Structure 1
Amino acid sequence: MEIFETTLRDGEQQAHLHFTAVQKGAMAALFEELGVDVIDAGFPAASAVDLDGVRHIVDRTDAVRLSVLTRPIKKDIIRAKAALQGATHRSRIATATRPFDMMSASGIGAAQARRKTIEKSTRLMQEARIHFREVQYYVICAGSRDVAFLTNLCASVAEAGATHIVVADTLSTTEPDSFGALVRDIKAALPPDIVLGVHCHNQLGLSLANTIAGIEAGATQAEVTIGNTGDGGGNAALEQVLAYANYFAAADPRFANRCQTEMVAEVVDAFIACTGMQFSPNKPLIGDISFLIETGIHQAIPSDIMRHAFHPETIGRRTEITIGRHSGISGILEQLDKMNLRPRNINQQLLYQRVMHAAQKTGTVPNRKLGQIAKSLMAGADVE
């Protein structure tokens, strides 16, 4: 599975999320170190800032492949090639045509619209291949289109020169079973040398599941962003796809990748520093408290069971315990152990009561206060 990292282009389409050109270069360097296969460097025809961002990414990376998005216009393709000057040997263009086939529902009009989509798309691929060795065609709004037509369209653009075809669930209109079936049908219509990718949006929270379904159905490229960033519901999350590949699919060659997953936390921290964006504190894997445990039921899970759980160290994080109103005596004693303050031969019920009393005001008990409570009991005032 190749990782196509699109935070710096599609992720930046999220409202209020912006990078400077210098920040894009710095983030691209980190993505290359992480081990992604392709960096979506931007949309150079969109603005001078986007163009400058692509050039900074070229300057700050060495070997990772770089892709740029263009409109289906020759002048955009020429500008994209110029933006990637110095990285021609590792560059790719990604583009699509308008889905004319979606503009007429039935009859002669529908047939003409489908023919127009294929004709425009094949001409676009032919023009793009004049300037780029790698050409990626996006099948946008894939979940809302006729499957038989899409297989015909994909076979046509492959014959016209596309090297990569990406099935994009642009509007989050598919669920895993139907998305997997669609990818499987398109895969069967393509020559074996064509790379098939998936680009899944997250409006209904299914981007990870759909990405997994797509890879299992034969796609070999996954498009991702940090933290599900992107327009609307965002995209499949880089950290979630890598965590799934590492934990659930470690023995599945379809999910093997080059990424050093232990760098994920570092990359996310750099992203936050660049953008000022704050994720929900309990956002899976990357939220501030996603590995912070307060509840007694979780603090008391035996270690021989916990060893089967996902280890946050895999992505550069670690599990922490906090003591509060929802903690149990097991968690309190474990935390005191970590503080080298575990009291011996004391009334554990009294310890628990005092900790709960301390937690009434603020909900949690800082380690300093927890230590004071333990030391007061260890002093002998309440020895059993």
Structure 2
Amino acid sequence: MNRLHICDTTLRDGEQAPGVAFSTKEKAEIAIMLDLAGVEQAEIGIPAMGEAECRSIARIAALGLQMKLMTWNRAVFSDIDAAESTGVDWAHISVPVSAVQMKAKLGMTPVQVTELIRKSVDYGLCKGLTVSVGFEDASRADDLFLEQLANQLYRDGIRRFRYADTLSVHHPDAIAARIGRLVSRVPQGVELEIHCHNDYGLALANTLAALQAGAVWASTTVSGLGERAGNTALEEVVMSWRDLYKGTCSVRPELLNPLAALVSKASNRVIPEGKPIVGDMVFAHESGIHINGLLKERSAYQALDPTELGTDHSFVLGKHSGRSAVQYMLEQEGIKAGPDEIKFLLERLRLVGEDPKWVIYSKDLKHWLEHYPAELSN
């Protein structure tokens, strides 16, 4: 229960974010970094998109990475043929399971969808592929239909299922109840993967709730890249599961920042400064109370140790800074200042911190002190 397995879909679902398209070279670089970071499995593309996509997938397959690779496919024989041609031996087959999607997308009844996915699974298995099945829009599917379908596919040889909150309509209590029920009504050998979208900002919370309820795989993307509001962020679920749920995971925290930077560059998506785990300013402190506490004891105002992520705390100055912060920043510049000078600097900080709203660094304090006598006399 405490072991978290990651199936990262940055190269598939992440690339479906509007305006994002990775080159073959970028895909290979991201795959290599995911592998180095300890990700166990990656979903690396959609073979049915054509020859260029198949070549990109085949190039990744030829890298000899340690992590398992999978392709995403519809329940269509030609999709599975294309998947086989890439050299990737794991085919994930996705099928709509909610009444609205079965009717709107396929024009089928639940009985017909069951027949369709069973035939597709059999076709893939007969080709020697490892097959997993994705339940698209599972969050709006009928409970009994999901259970019956999963049990039938288990009898057909499937051991891994992806429960997709495709439209992000679950909240943590609801997804925990759904996953708990499903896990309790399928054979013990079933491995359930949770795939959440983030339209309401609940992808991480929903993923953690599903894992606690019995799912063992988390579907993620680096920095949450993906359609609409994105997916569950790899770095957030890895660190939350380890620190808050006391679980284990093979992903290496020190490579989360370089991985996020690589995907940011390839996707041309800027990482927000306040992005949890990998944002530039998430370990920066301005408040005088916080800095004073951190200088005395690092754990006073930071539960997450930034050194594990290859970074460290940083102090900046602004209108909320206090005497300890100013004195510390001056010491970093080798400057000794008396009480009157520090008072002068604090008053200056209160003014410039509001307009033009900038972050103040030690070099600014040094510059102000150089003009201190003249300004004081005024």
Q: Is the 8 A contact 2:290 2:301 kept in 1?
A: no
**TM-score using structure 2 length:** 0.89
From 95, 98, 114, the counterpart of 1:97? 95
Alignment of 1:300-315 (within 5 A): 300-302=292-294, 303-304=296-297, 305-306=299-300, 309-315=303-309
> Number of aligned pairs?
366
Partner-residue secondary structure (3-state), 2:274: coil
**Distance in structure 2 (CA, Å) of the matches to 1:55 and 1:367:** 51
**Distance in structure 2 (CA, Å) of the matches to 1:57 and 1:118:** 32
String of CA shifts for 1:138-195, please: whole Å, max 9, x gaps. 1111111111221111111111121210111001111111101111111122222222
From 264, 270, 273, the counterpart of 1:278? 270
Q: Is the 8 A contact 2:97 2:138 kept in 1?
A: no
Partner-residue secondary structure (3-state), 1:26: helix
Q: In the TM superposition, what is the alpha-carbon distance from 1:268 to its structure 2 partner?
A: 1.0
Q: Residue in 2 aligned with 1:108?
A: none
Percent same amino acid among aligned pairs?
A: 24
**Distance in structure 1 (CA, Å) of the matches to 2:157 and 2:199:** 32
Alignment of 1:99-138 (within 5 A): 99=97, 101-102=99-100, 113-138=109-134
Q: Is the 8 A contact 1:94 1:137 kept in 2?
A: yes
CA RMSD of aligned residues (A): 2.5
Q: Residue in 2 aligned with 1:371?
A: 366
Q: In the TM superposition, what is the alpha-carbon distance from 1:223 to its structure 2 partner?
A: 0.5
**TM-score using structure 1 length:** 0.87
**Distance in structure 2 (CA, Å) of the matches to 1:135 and 1:80:** 11
String of CA shifts for 1:236-263, please: whole Å, max 9, x gaps. 000101120232123x3xxx11111111
The alignment status of 1:215 with 2:211, answered yes or no, reads yes
The alignment status of 1:261 with 2:257, answered yes or no, reads no
Q: Is the 8 A contact 1:281 1:287 kept in 2?
A: yes
**Distance in structure 1 (CA, Å) of the matches to 2:184 and 2:99:** 22
From 208, 222, 228, the counterpart of 1:226? 222
**Distance in structure 2 (CA, Å) of the matches to 1:214 and 1:8:** 23
String of CA shifts for 1:84-110, please: whole Å, max 9, x gaps. 2xx5xxx311112243743689xxxxx
Residues 278, 61 of structure 1: alpha-carbon distance in 2 compared, 3 angstrom cutoff: farther
Q: Residue in 1 aligned with 2:192?
A: 196
Task: List gaps (5 residues or longer) in structure 2.
Answer: none
String of CA shifts for 1:193-231, please: whole Å, max 9, x gaps. 222110011011111011101111111110000111111
Residues 100, 346 of structure 1: alpha-carbon distance in 2 compared, 3 angstrom cutoff: closer
Task: List gaps (5 residues or longer) in structure 1.
Answer: 106-111
From 167, 171, 178, the counterpart of 2:163? 167
**Distance in structure 2 (CA, Å) of the matches to 1:44 and 1:275:** 20
**Distance in structure 2 (CA, Å) of the matches to 1:97 and 1:140:** 6
Q: Is the 8 A contact 2:199 2:228 kept in 1?
A: yes
Greater mean deviation of Cα atoms: 294-303 or 34-43 = 294-303
Greater mean deviation of Cα atoms: 13-22 or 190-199 = 190-199
**Distance in structure 1 (CA, Å) of the matches to 2:278 and 2:95:** 36
Q: Is the 8 A contact 2:22 2:267 kept in 1?
A: yes
